[in-house]
Chain A
C-alpha cells in the first residue's frame, strides 16, 4: 500500500457498537488503518473489515459511546495498523494499543510492522530442542518447557496462575543472560493483577528487560484484539532481529476471546459453540503461532498464555481451541489448591508436547523421559486407589493400592509442593521423582528400564520413599 495515499471522508453513516459504516468510501482497502476523528479532535483507530464500491465497513478499536456518525471524519491511512518496535521499548509500559502510558517520551522505534504479522514458513523454522529450567518440579520434571514453545496455563478464577507465571518469569532467566526479555500483555485483567506482575518483575530486577502492554478490566474490550498482536510484534522483532530470547505472557486469553465474540455478534456472523465465531481457531492460531525459532538466528519466542476456564470447564471453546493449537498445557486444579498445595498443577491433563526433544542425555538426564512416564502412570493409579478407598475404606484396601495411596501423598506433598520463591534444580527434581517412586515396590515400575532402576532406585530403601 502506498503510504502517501491518505484519504479523508467527512461524516459516517452508521455506527453499530464498534462497527462503523461509511457510504461512498469505495476506495478503502481491505484491512487498511482508519483514523476516526471526533468533533473534539480525538482520534480513534480502526481497520477496514469489508469494502465494496459503495461503502466501507470499519471496525473501531475504541469505545464508540457518544459518537455521532455524521460528526466524524475518517482518514484512511493507506496501510494496515502498524506496531512500532525497537529495543528501547524494553523497560516501558504501554496501553493495550501499544501507546506509551508511563509519561516518558515515546521510544524511538527501529521499525514499524504490520501488527497482524505473517505466517512463518515451516521450512524456515528450527524445531525447538532446548529446555528451559523453570525451577518448578511439576513443570521441569513432567511437562518440561522448551525454548520457543507455546505452553498455556489453564486455570480457574481464584487459582494462583499469576503467581506461577511470575515465578516462571523470575526463575526461567537463571543464568542472567543479557539477551533475555519478558513481554507481558494483559487483556482485561484487574489493576491488582497487572500491578502484582510489575512488582514481581521489579523485585527480581527484570523490569528493565521487560515491556508491559496493559489493557485492563476497565479499558475498552475492543482494544484487546490488538494488545497481544502489538506485544508479539515487538517479540518477533527482538527475537528475530536482535536475536534475543523472549518470554511472552498473555493474560487472560478468555477475555480476549470474549471480546472477539462480542465483535462477531455485532456483525451478525453465524455463531458456533457458545456463540463464538467459526474463525476463533484461526484467530487464536495467528497469535499463538507467532512463536518458535527460525533458521539462521539465535533468538526465540516462548509464549505462555494464561486463561481462566469458565466454570473450570476444559471443553469450553477457548481452552479447547487453545489446546488444539498450543504445544501442550499446564492445568491447575481446584482440588489441589483446596488441599493447600502450591503450585496446584494437575499433571495428568497437563502436557508438554515439545518435552520429548528437549530432555534426555545432553539436555537434562537420560532417565528423564522414562521417569516422567512412570510418575504419570503411577499417579494415575493413585486416582484409582483413592476412589477404591472411598468405597471400601483404606484399611480393607489391597496392599498394592495402599502403596499407591502413600505414593500419591508423597507425590503431592513433596514432589509437587514447593515455595513460591523456591527454584529447584533439574537434578534435584529428578532425584525427588525417584525418591517418591521408591514408595512403590520395584515390580510396579514397568515404564522405567531395569538399568534405570539399578541406577536410581534407592535399593536398600524399597518401599520407604526415603
Chain B
C-alpha cells in the first residue's frame, strides 16, 4: 500500500504538517515527497497530521505529496540481521554505500534484509500440529555461530496447515500456513514486521540471577550486571564510556550483541566494523561479527532517526530474546537520544519542564529500560535482554535530568570519574559512588561456579578501598606522616587493589579480558597480602620491613603478565609473596622508635562494611 494520502502544509526542519486527503493512523510510516522520505505520524487531527521525517528534508515544500503505508514504523525481522550495520531506520549501510556512494543520501530505498539470499530451512514441527505464538517452526543457520529460530509470530495460533520441506528459501517465500480457529489461513514467511515502539509480548518475567560476565574486573567483581539487568555508564567526555561499551561488545558472554551508536562518532562505528570481523569471541572462537549487529545513527545523521535508532535496536533485541538467546544491547549514548526527544519536542512547541526536556522524558527512559529482563518467552524458552546505556551529562554534571532519571531505572551504576580518567586510571569507574543492586543473586552464581569466598573477598577489598578514601582526605590535611603504620599499610593495600586489580587496560594484549578465575585469584592474592601485613604489624614488625619484603610493582604487573591460560602461575606468585612476608615472622626486630601504632586503633581488620547500596 502506498497511496497518496495528502500533501505537505508546512516544513520546519524534520517536522512537517500534512494536509490529509486520505486515511492515516497514528505511528503509521509515511513517505514524504516524490522521493518518499521515511517518516512517521506523531500526531493526528481531523484534517492535518504532524509527521516526523527521518531523512534530510532539504528541498521539500508545501504541496509535495505524502504517501501512506498502512503499517506502523516497523523493524523488519528475520535471518540476515546479524553481521550487518543499519542506520536508525534500518537501512543497511553497506547496501546504501553500493547504491549512493560515500555519503548518506536521502530518498535512497534499500530493503533492510537481503530478499534474494536463500537460507537452508530445516523444519522442526509437523504439519497438523496445533501451534501458537512463539512455537518453533524450524530454523536456519544464520551465521556459523547462531541458529536462527523461525517462530510462529505473535498474535497467531491454530493448526499448522502447511510447513515447507527442508530446503533453501528466501525470507519472502512462504514456509508455513497456519489455519486459525475461524478457519482462516495465514501464510508465514521467515520475516516479520514489528512496530518498534511496542514491546514484543512475553509469557512472564523471571528474576535475573546469572551475571553477564564481561571480563572487566571492576564490573564483574564489584559492580556486576545480571543477564536481564540494566546498567548505566554516566561520564563526561573522555572518561571511557565508549571503550567500556566496545569491551563489553567484544568480551561479554551474551549470545547476541546489539550495538547502537546513537549520535556518536562515525569513526567509532568504523572501528567496530573494521575490527570485529577480525576478532574472535573468546567463548566460541568465532569471529565477533557472527553474533553482532550494529545500528549507527552518527552525530551528523538526521537527529530524528536518532530517536528511532534506540527503538529499532531494542526491537531486534527482543526478537532474538524470543528465540531463547541472551542478548546484550549497548546504547552509546542514551543522552543523545534524550536530546533528540528534546529537539523534537521543541519543534512541536511542547512545554519544556527542565533544561528544555519535555515532561515525558522520565517515562520514555523508564519504558526503554523496562524492555530489559530475563523472561519466559511465548514459546516457553528462556531469554534475556541486558541493557547497557552510556549517559553523557553536560559538563559532567550528574544532577542533570537524563542522568538522574536513568539512575532511577537502572540497577548497575558505573559512574565514571574525570579525575581517574585524567590519571589514566582505566576503566575510570569510581568505586566509591558506583554500585550494583544485583549482588545477592549473583553471588550465588560465583559461589557455586567460581569461588566460595567471592563475596568475602570483594567485601574485604572494598572495605580497604573505602578506608583509603577516608584516609586520603586526612592526608590532604595533615600529611602522610601523621598516619599510623597500620593506616599507611591500608594505603599500600589500596594501591595494590587500585593499580593491580581495578585498573585494566582495554588495549592490553594480555589483560584486556580477565576470566572469572583470574579475577578471583588476583583479588585473593591482594587481600591475603593485605591481611597478612596487618597481622605482621600487630606482631610488631615494622612497615618498612614489610614493604621491603614485597615487590609491589611486580605484584601490580601480575595482571599484565599472567594470561588467562596460565593461572597456576598466579597462585605461585601469590604464594611466593605470602612466603616472603611470613619469613619476616621469625626474625623479629625491635620496634622502631616513632611508631604510633599504640595510639591509633587499627582499622583494617574490622568487619568490612559493604558499599552503600549493594545487596538491597
Chain A: residues with CB nearer than 8 A to chain B?
Answer: 1, 26-32, 49-53, 80, 114, 116-128, 240, 269-273, 278-279, 281-282, 285-286, 289-290, 292, 294-295, 315-317, 320-321, 323-325, 327-329, 348-349, 351, 353-354, 356, 369, 373, 376-377, 380, 387-388, 391-392, 396, 398, 401, 442-447, 449-450
Give which listed residue, B60, B62, B266, contacts A122 with CB less than 8 A: B266
Report the bound CA distance from A30 to B346 in whole Å. 18
Query: If the complex has contacts A122-B296, A449-B557, are A398 and B237 also in contact, measured as CB distance less than 8 A?
Result: no
Name the residue on B nearest A32 (C-beta): B59
- State whether A270 and B346 are in contact (beta carbons under 8 Å apart), knowing that A325-B299, A348-B422 are contacts in the complex: yes
**Residue positions of B touching A, CB distance < 8 A:** 9-13, 17, 56-63, 85, 93-94, 96-97, 100-105, 236-238, 261, 263, 265-267, 269-271, 273-274, 296, 298-301, 303, 336, 339, 342-343, 346, 352, 355-356, 392, 394-397, 418, 422-425, 475-481, 499, 505, 507, 551-553, 556-557, 560
Query: What residues of chain A lie closer than 8 Å to B475, measured between beta carbons?
Result: 388
Chain A: minimal CB distance from B345 (Å): 8
**Which chain B residues border A273 with CB–CB below 8 Å?**
355, 394-395
In the assembled complex, the Cα of A270 lies from the Cα of B237 at a distance in Å of 25
Please, how many angstroms separate the alpha-carbon atoms of A32 and B58 in the complex? 7
Selected from A27, A286, A315, A388, the residue in CB contact (under 8 A) with B61 is A27
B479 neighbours in A (Cβ, 8 Å): 388, 391-392, 396
Chain A's nearest CB lies how many Å from the CB of B563? 14
For the complex, give the distance between the alpha carbons of A388 and B57 in Å. 59
With A30-B59, A269-B346, A449-B560 already in contact, the answer to whether A50 and B11 are too (CB < 8 A) is yes
Q: Which residue of A lies closest to B301 (CB)?
A: A119
* Whole-angstrom CA separation of A323 from B238 in the bound complex: 8
* Cβ-defined contact, B85 with A123, below 8 A: yes
Judge whether B105 and A118 touch: CB under 8 Å.
yes
Tell me how far the C-beta of B234 lies from the nearest C-beta in chain A, rounded to whole angstroms. 13
- Considering only CB atoms, which chain A residue lies closest to B421 in the complex? A351
A396-B482 Cα distance, complex, nearest whole Å: 12
A376 CB, nearest partner CB in chain B, Å: 4
A50 to B15, CA, bound (A): 10
- Given A118-B56, A273-B395, A289-B298, do A51 and B11 touch, yes or no (CB 8 Å)? yes
Bound-complex Cα distance A28 to B269 (A): 37
Given A282-B299, A354-B267, A446-B556, residue A369 in contact with residue B507 (CB < 8 A): yes
CB–CB B267/A446 < 8 A: no
Chief secondary structure at chain A's binding surface: mixed
CA distance A409 to B58 in the complex (A): 56
A-B contact pairs, 24 of them (CB 8 A): A27-B62, A29-B61, A30-B57, A31-B59, A49-B13, A50-B10, A119-B104, A120-B102, A120-B298, A120-B300, A121-B93, A123-B94, A123-B273, A124-B101, A127-B270, A295-B102, A316-B395, A321-B394, A349-B238, A349-B422, A373-B424, A442-B553, A443-B551, A443-B552
Q: Decide: A121 and B104 in contact? CB cutoff 8 A.
A: yes
Bound form: Cα–Cα A387–B392 in Å: 30
Answer whether A53 and B62 are a contact pair too, CB < 8 Å, given A118-B56, A123-B97, A317-B394. Answer: yes
Chain B positions within 8 Å of A269 at CB level: 346
Q: Is the CB of B62 within 8 A of A26?
A: yes
> Judging by beta carbons under 8 Å apart, are B10 and A398 in contact?
no
Question: Whole-angstrom distance from the CB of B9 to the nearest CB of chain A?
Answer: 6
Q: Which of A122, A315, A391 contacts B270 (CB 8 A)?
A: A122
Out of B339, B551, B553, name the residue touching A445 (CB < 8 Å): B553
Query: Contact between B352 and A387 (Cβ–Cβ < 8 Å)?
Result: no
| A447→B425 CA distance, assembly (Å) | 11
Name the B residues within 8 Å of A292 (CB-CB).
Answer: 266-267
Question: A122 touching B10 by the CB < 8 A rule?
Answer: no
Question: Which A residues are in CB contact (< 8 Å) with B11?
Answer: 30, 50-52
CB within 8 Å for A30 and B553 given contacts A285-B299, A315-B397, A324-B237? no
With known contacts A52-B9, A80-B58, A120–B395 Cβ distance under 8 A: no
A281 touches B336 (CB 8 A): yes
Cα-based distance from A449 to B510 in the complex (angstroms): 12
Of the residues A122, A278, A327, A354, contact of B269 by C-beta under 8 Å: A122
Please indicate the chain A residues that have their CB under 8 angstroms from the CB of B97 in the complex: 121, 123-124
